[in-house]
A and B are shown apart, each in its own frame.
Chain A
């Protein structure tokens, strides 16, 4: 299993617990400061099945190409979702950020997909609502890897909306509608976006 943008590690440690400390999670973050926090949390949570890397996501994806059963790309994003809990997040928000993140998100989703074994499954997620960082990124992957399959994710107990099919002057392929949006007004939570991508066997 590959967690390609893992710091500070809450999802890595949760997955490690779900896997009952078996198998392998390769948990990566390219930032030297953030990876220290990641290691600290892996230690604190007693994750015996985690290897921590500090690599560029694309290079790591190539290094483990075709070897992963599962990949999580919880991509760095403009974090609009955190505005609900932090006024500082609103101060940091800008249109420029929404324009800046998609290039790295596209690199990561492609790297994550290439890391999958045939039959493997990837989750692409962000805590932002901007379609430029969500549906547009998934559409990019589907254009680069036409065999990739977008599946509908189900999370029982949560109200979810389908991915947008158009935004501004852009329209997205039908498969993008299988992505899921979790909106604050539906669940009294922060917003979240996720796409479930399968690599065919």
Chain B
């Protein structure tokens, strides 16, 4: 199994089976994931195959919001459950300050049972990494 997948699995407890029927590639510090058919499609040279799964940093791996929305559903570790108020605050670009059950570094944010994105936790501050396209009223 791809070492980046192993890193994600170890950090977040995402079952390895989640990636069983998928293929993962890495290019210029970015990890991509897609169906094997797409990732090995060679009739033309596409600009992009699949979606961005993570960005490779020198000492960590930053998962993408959309990658985790699709594949992070069964995560068990470094996961922060958000209340409605907390979710609204983070989605609007604010920070939370609390003693969460998570290690420092990137964490997944779950709201109402769905992984909504990624945060960066440096105890006690949790910063949202969710793209800020539209503020939530």
A-B residue pair count with CB separations less than 8 angstroms: 69
- Complex contact B47–A24 (CB within 8 A): no
- Complex contact B46–A26 (CB within 8 A): yes
Q: Bound state CA distance, A46 and B64, in angstroms?
A: 11
CB < 8 Å neighbour of B51 from A48, A55, A67:
A48
Q: How many residues of A contact B (CB 8 A)?
A: 25
- CB of B66, distance to nearest CB on chain A (Å): 5
- Complex contact B66–A60 (CB within 8 A): no
Q: How many residues of B contact A (CB 8 A)?
A: 22
CB < 8 Å neighbour of B22 from A43, A47, A48, A60:
A48
What 1/0 mask marks residues of chain B from 17 to 45 whose CB sits below 8 Å from any chain A CB? Answer: 00000100000000001110110010111
Task: Flag whether B16 is at the interface (Cβ < 8 A).
Answer: no
Task: Flag whether B6 is at the interface (Cβ < 8 A).
Answer: no
Enumerate chain B residues within 8 angstroms of A44, measured Cβ to Cβ: 66
Binding site for B on A (CB under 8 A): 21-24, 26, 35, 39, 42-55, 60, 63-64, 67
Complex A-B, nearest 9 residue pairs according to Cβ-Cβ distance, in ascending order = A46-B70, A51-B46, A52-B48, A63-B44, A48-B34, A49-B35, A24-B37, A43-B51, A53-B46
